[in-house]
Amino acid sequence: MKKHSRILSLLSLSLSLLIFSLLSKTSKAYCNSHDKKVLFRIKEALGNPYVLASWTNDHDCCNWYCLECDPNTHRVNNLFITNSDITGPIPAAVGDLPYLEILEFHKNSNLTGGIPKEITKLTRLRMLWLSWNNLTGPVPSFISQLKNLEYVNLAFNQFTRPIPSELSSLPKLGYLGLDRNKLTGQIPESFGNFNATDFYLILSHNQLTGPIPRSLFNVKFAKIDFSRNHLVGDAYMLFRNNSPSDLSVDLSRNNFTYDFSKTDIPTRLVNLDVNHNKIYGSIPQQLANNELQFLNVSYNRLCGQIPTGGTGRLQEFDEYSYFHNKCLCGAPLPACK
């Protein structure tokens, strides 16, 4: 009996020790005090918006909404303020969260002003995601100082002026989205230096002019979208045959003028949209061998028979993939004469 009670008391002691250590773990303030001060500055700079109502001293800052901490360092590594009513510019204080890897301001239509220079202090940043806001000014060249960036998305803003050529010096960049802005000038020659193996270059809905630089022949693209600009000339340099992954190309609604029959068709080209250009010649026979998922060559100056055979895909698209050309013929268009 005595022995049992001793075991019991030992058990209850170890149990209470366990509970104590569990409790102290959950109530321990993980939040880094420097980060917490910076977060309060950010909240104040944004005018204490409703979306940041959870940012109070009552909670560990790593449990606040719109952010995450690294589980090991307990430093804030992800700040994401989305779909909110925040107003004014991106607070310069974001540059004082030195462990940030992801900075996301997305769908805040009253977020205005330029990208603050202070973000250049965020040397660990991997993702800069600032889409669907109302940001203005140029796309700053200082973004190229953040050598760990893998993903840059500045789509759906009001950015103006030419694209800075320095962006190509980002050694890990795999996604560059500058679509739906008001960018002018040419695609930089330096963009031939992008190194990633599945590069996404999304520049659609801008006011870009001039030809595509030949240097782009060196880039291993997975997706290219240059649609709705004012680009001219040839596009052969986008179609390299050793593409390591499936390739999607959208060049629609530009002023491209080239002989389609002289374009190499990469075997892994799966989506091609070139509608509304001035492309002439005939559809290359090679295209019939591709596992195409989407094709639109309408509103160009193409001629000749739509190639048959191969995978048979070219006949599976309807006439709206081919209509409004000079003299294209054969299924799904009317037979050639």
Binding footprint of ligand NAG on the chain (CB under 6 A) = 85, 109-110, 132, 134, 156, 168-169, 171, 193, 195, 230, 253-255, 275, 296, 298-299, 320-321
Residue 111 CB, nearest distance to ligand NAG (Å)?
Answer: 8
CA-derived radius of gyration, the chain: 27
Residue 249 CB, nearest distance to ligand NAG (Å)?
Answer: 14
Residue 147 CB, nearest distance to ligand NAG (Å)?
Answer: 9
By three-state DSSP, how is residue 160 classified? strand
DSSP-derived letter for residue 171 is T
Q: How many residues does the chain have?
A: 337
- Rounded Cα distance between 102 and 122, Å, is 10
Judged by beta carbon, residue 99 or residue 175, the one nearer ligand NAG is 175
| Amino acid at position 106, single letter | H
Q: Where are the alpha helices (DSSP H) in the chain?
A: 2-27, 33-45
Residue 47 CB, nearest distance to ligand NAG (Å)?
Answer: 11
Q: Per the omega criterion (within 30 degrees of 0), is the bond before 332 cis? A: yes
Residue 11 CB, nearest distance to ligand NAG (Å)?
Answer: 58
Residue 48 CB, nearest distance to ligand NAG (Å)?
Answer: 14
Judged by beta carbon, residue 132 or residue 260, the one nearer ligand NAG is 132
Backbone dihedral region for residue 285 (phi beyond 0: left; psi -120 to 50: alpha; all else: beta): alpha
Residue 156 CB, nearest distance to ligand NAG (Å)?
Answer: 5
Q: Which residues pair with 152 in a beta bridge?
A: 128, 176
- Rounded Cα distance between 156 and 124, Å, is 25
Judged by beta carbon, residue 96 or residue 250, the one nearer ligand NAG is 250
- Rounded Cα distance between 175 and 172, Å, is 9
Closest CA to 250 of 218, 294, 208: 294
Judged by beta carbon, residue 184 or residue 195, the one nearer ligand NAG is 195
Judged by beta carbon, residue 32 or residue 254, the one nearer ligand NAG is 254
- Rounded Cα distance between 147 and 126, Å, is 8
Judged by beta carbon, residue 97 or residue 283, the one nearer ligand NAG is 283
Residue 312 CB, nearest distance to ligand NAG (Å)?
Answer: 17
Judged by beta carbon, residue 30 or residue 151, the one nearer ligand NAG is 151
Torsion sign (Cα): 256, 271, 290, 293: negative
Judged by beta carbon, residue 16 or residue 47, the one nearer ligand NAG is 47
- Rounded Cα distance between 314 and 9, Å, is 80
